[in-house]
A and B are shown apart, each in its own frame.
Chain A
Amino acid sequence: MSQLAPLMPYHRVNILTGTRTARLVEDTAEYAKQITKSKRPLLVLGPRLLKLTLGGRLLLEYALDIAKAKNIPTCATATVKSKMVELGVKPDSVYDIVEIINALKDPEWKGVRNEGNHDIVIFFGFRTDLGEQGLSVLKHFAPHLKTMTLCKYYYPHADFSLPNIRKDEQWKVFLENLIDSLGTKGGH
């Protein structure tokens, strides 16, 4: 799924040289297709979702719309759970990022809904350095699953990544289109 031609990650200090780099996806439909065909996706939510807003809405609200659109189970990391609860949503699981990645590495893990390990894991809202290192763990030690990111930066260690997006409006449109493509619209 990954491509050979590397793209420069946004935070260049975290350049990760390698032979396998993420497939750059700009078309919402491709993301939606990957998620839709997945049997057991998982959305892992990071603390930057609580700090950033797009069009006056907290980034976390977009994430929850995506989860709701396809009934994707969620994993709240760091302090995300508290805001989710405030928004009336109970996370399916609470782990820190290194813990959920540690569990995902195990092909026999039962997953956050006890239905088996996940086949596609979507990361959203992490520091790029920590996020990238976490994705590297899964790239190398979890061949049984694919990874995807929704942040506005290119993540080379993912299987699917957005490009570096300079304009937040463009990012907002992508996320809204993704929510639409996955089948529902609206906020919490």
Chain B
Amino acid sequence: MAEIKELTKKLEEIHQKIKAEVPWEPVGHTPMPEIPDLRSWDMRLLKTYKPWYAPFCDLCCFCTYGKCDLTEDRRGACGIDIATQQARIVLLACLMGCSAHAAHAGHILEILIEKHGKGKKIDLGTFIDLEAPNIRTVLGLKPETLGDLKTAIEYVYKEIAHLLDSTHMGQEGSYLDYESKALHAGMLDHVGMEVADIAQIVGFNYPTSVADTPLVDLGWNSVNKTKPIILFAGHNPATSTVVVDYLQENNLYDKVELCGVCCTAIETTRYSAKAKVIGPLSRQLFFIRSGIPDVIMTDEQCIRTDIPVEATKAGSALIAALDKAMYGLEDATEMETDEVVRKMVDEKKHFVILDPKKAAEVAVKVAMAIALKRRKEWLTEQEAVELAKKCTLCGMCEQVCPNLFDIGNGVSQVAKGNFDVIGEIFNQCIGCGKCEEECPRNIPIFKIMQVGASKETWKMRAGRGPVMDTEIRNVGAPITLGTIPGVIALVGCSNFPDIRDIAEIVDEFARRKYIVVLTGCSAMVAGMWKDSEGKTVYEKYPPDFDAGGVVNIGSCVANSHISGAAIKIANIFAALPLRANYEVMADYVLNRVGACGVAWGAMSQKAASIATGFNRLGVPVILGPHSSKYRRLYLSRKEEDEWKVMDARKKQIVETNEPSPEHLAYVCETKEKAMVMIPKLCIRKNDTPQGRSIKLNHYISLYKKYMGGGLPEDLPLYVRRDADIPLVYKKEVKAYLTEIGWKPKEPVGLPTLIGTYPTKVPVDSVIH
């Protein structure tokens, strides 16, 4: 009884926090879920999509019991085995990522509440009523003000603490439970990201309820080098937006050039379309080493840890504007502004300045003072040739290249006057600088690469924030029926095997009338390619969330609007209640929304948590080859596993033998293979015959294009009846099916996993 009373009291507290008395929808089964609340859903997912672990090393070195050897079924001194240790590391990665976004959200919220007050209304424009699908679904709270967002982020903080606790030595002993916790962290991440971006849209007046956002300049050659230049690096726009304000208030806006790398670049262009995007994270070190930025302002996440060293070498001034990265620098937040400026200009000192207004004023004054002394040009070709002649082809650069490039070959070709090879390597380079660090002849490989790099500039569409409710109403039916063959979300970092892959994937699928959405570094590099008419994908395709649209949703935190769009389909189109109803939303997305994430250059812990959050919501994610280093995938074995679902209309469990979606987290070694996996992972059991036929048409056609002809080996698993076979391949497919003895099967009326595992959610909940 005492326990029941306790639970009731707890539930009462939750209901108070989520304002349960406001009857916009009935409160579902899992308001503000804690670790155990969605565990059954996770275990159901993990039954089909089993974790695949690729340990990075044989040991655990987390505590002073060890190092413990975990090979050949050995357990650590605490009892942990190798699989559980991998799951624990994955959870830690997800927590790092989730914390980064949550802390970003908390920080920006604090600043904006200070500026606008807790009661500042959330208004995302005429076409968005469902403002926060993740927060509504996970917490059961409909946030109406910035203050409500604080409730959401405090919930995330609390859950993060519980999850992190579980990674302490001597606790969790099951890899499946660690995976459930990682999925929980991933879900929380989408809540945190949503808080951050809604706050930013409301607080900074970013564009919203509009698809046709401005086309902004992209590429380092778009920067006007005759002006003082301020470079923003990181993800948090708290300071960059204030710099824009300062310039405008002081009539300096046309006199100073603002640019950014990584997500702060996207954020700043949402605030001011005059700002320039240098490019993704992989361009950060290149641009800094050029010496072109007069002032570098760092904020948080995905900024280099050696920026003070690099800034000093390049003759740039550095302001660390956020406490996440203070680099051991003196904190000048309380110092007189003119004194800070003097020290930065005359003594070349770098500072931490945590007051955005002061940081903005100092940055502008310092940039204007030192711009004239700047070392601002690339090497000439002749200088590059002379420097390249020092190369002895020792191979040290290749040995340390994370992308495994034969850089020495490129450099030695430059010595002969050929810049083609180094130009190619530049396109594939992730910009870490390991090659140059290792070179025994101290050859400035980066500067040589810059000479071989393209001098082009491009356009990218400024991030637009949430998908509009009106767009969802238009596409909900075609997506769930399959006649829009899928939503492809190209997200994540710039650890690409080749930077051009992204634009090629976008072009291939937009042309085929998939909906293509992008965020972060992927959104940037998609713009760094032009077709034969000189158009980028942002100029070539419409910006609408509709068939054939190419949509830049925004920065990393805008990923929450992609998961949000999937939830909106279930809620707006299918009219399923979402309030504290995570399992029903996730089940709907898994079984009926043909969406596929592609994190082709995923590198960071944030990418791990974003992807894992998508996985819990039922969205499969394809990763680039190096992402095997995340240590864990979620794979099925299509022919060996069971593919039972509940037919909600008939209330019968049905064995479909159809592996859709086949995997939840999958690595492809090549772009070509990814081109074939993407359409397959958009297949859903709910597809109508017409929709399935369209999806299979793309699957077969892309298979033929990239795999050299023939039919996909697993095609029979996805053909339910004759009507599923695409007309153009009818004869070939039918001959093949006859040859292997294929038998037709009935499509499932209303497929759901609810009812196939222990859950409080009744099957009727999925019927709309």
CB distance from B417 to the nearest CB of A (A): 25
Contacts of B59 in A (CB 8 A): 17-19
* Residue among A19, A126, A128 having the largest count of chain B Cβ atoms under 10 Å: A19
Q: Is the CB of B401 within 8 A of A136?
A: no
A138 nearest in chain B by CB position: B54
Encoded as 1 (CB less than 8 Å from any A CB) or 0, chain B from 701 to 723 comes to 00000111110010000000000
Using Cβ atoms and an 8 Å threshold, which residues of chain A touch B70? Answer: 140
Can you report 23 residue pairs joining A to B where beta carbons are below 8 Å apart?
A: A12-B399, A12-B400, A13-B399, A18-B57, A20-B71, A47-B669, A47-B670, A77-B669, A78-B669, A79-B670, A82-B708, A85-B710, A97-B669, A102-B52, A127-B626, A129-B404, A129-B629, A130-B667, A130-B669, A133-B54, A134-B54, A140-B70, A141-B53
Bound complex: CA A77 to CA B57 (Å): 25
Contact yes or no, B58 A129, CB < 8 A: no
Residue of A nearest to B638 (CB): A99
Q: How far is the CB of A101 from chain B (nearest CB, A)?
A: 8
A47-B669, A98-B635 known; A16-B56 Cβ under 8 A: yes
With both beta carbons as reference points, the residue of chain A lying nearest to B631 in the complex is identified as A133
Q: Would A137 and B404 count as touching, CB distance under 8 A?
A: no
- Chain B residues in 8 Å Cβ range of A126: 669
Q: Tell me, yes or no, whether A83 is within 8 Å of chain B by CB.
A: yes
Given known contacts A96-B668, A140-B53, is B401 in contact with A134 (CB within 8 Å)? no
CB pair A13–B400 under 8 Å, yes or no, is yes
Query: Once the chains bind, are A98 and B672 in contact (CB under 8 Å)?
Result: no
> For the complex, is A152 an interface residue (Cβ under 8 Å from B)?
no
Question: Closest chain A residue to B630 by CB distance?
Answer: A133
Q: A19-B71, A103-B637, A127-B626 are in contact. List 14 more A-B contacts (CB 8 A).
A: A11-B400, A13-B400, A20-B58, A78-B672, A79-B707, A81-B707, A106-B637, A129-B625, A129-B626, A134-B54, A136-B55, A140-B55, A140-B83, A166-B395
- With the chains together, A96 CA to B708 CA distance in Å? 15
User: Would you give the shortest CB distance from A93 to chain B, in whole angstroms?
Assistant: 8
CB B695 to nearest CB in A, in angstroms, measures 20
CB pair B670–A82 under 8 Å, yes or no, is no
B71 touches A98 (CB 8 A): no
Chain B interface residue count: which class?
Answer: 35 or more
Chain A residue nearest to B396 (CB atoms) is: A12
B20 to chain A, nearest CB (A): 44
Give the distance in Å from the alpha carbon of A19 to the alpha carbon of B68 in the complex. Answer: 10
Residue B528 at the chain A interface, CB threshold 8 Å? no
CA distance A148 to B546 in the complex (A): 49
Report chain A residues within 8 Å CB of B512.
none
Q: Are A136 and B402 within 8 A (Cβ)?
A: no
Q: Is B633 close to A, CB under 8 A?
A: yes
Q: Please name all residues of chain B whose beta carbon is closer than 8 Å to the beta carbon of A10 when the two chains form the complex.
A: 399
Cβ contacts A121-150/B at 8 Å (1 or 0 each): 000001111100110110111010000000
Cβ of B739 within 8 Å of any chain A Cβ, yes or no, is no
CA distance A13 to B57 in the complex (A): 13
Q: Report yes or no: B629 in contact with A133, Cβ–Cβ below 8 A.
A: yes
Measured CA separation A101–B669 after assembly (Å): 14
Closest-CB distance, B32 to chain A (whole angstroms):
36
> Is A86 interfacial (CB-CB < 8 Å)?
yes
- Is A24 engaged at the interface, CB distance under 8 Å to the other chain? no
Nearest 6 pairs of A and B residues by beta carbon: A82-B708, A18-B58, A133-B628, A133-B54, A130-B625, A17-B57
- CB neighbours (8 Å) of B399 from chain A are 10-13
Q: Which residue of A lies closest to B672 (CB)?
A: A79
- Please name all residues of chain B whose beta carbon is closer than 8 Å to the beta carbon of A98 when the two chains form the complex: 52, 628, 633, 635, 666-667
Bound Cα distance A31, B708 (Å): 32
- Is the C-beta of B72 less than 8 angstroms from some C-beta in chain A? yes
CA distance A98 to B11 in the complex (A): 44
Q: Does B416 contact A (CB under 8 A)?
A: no
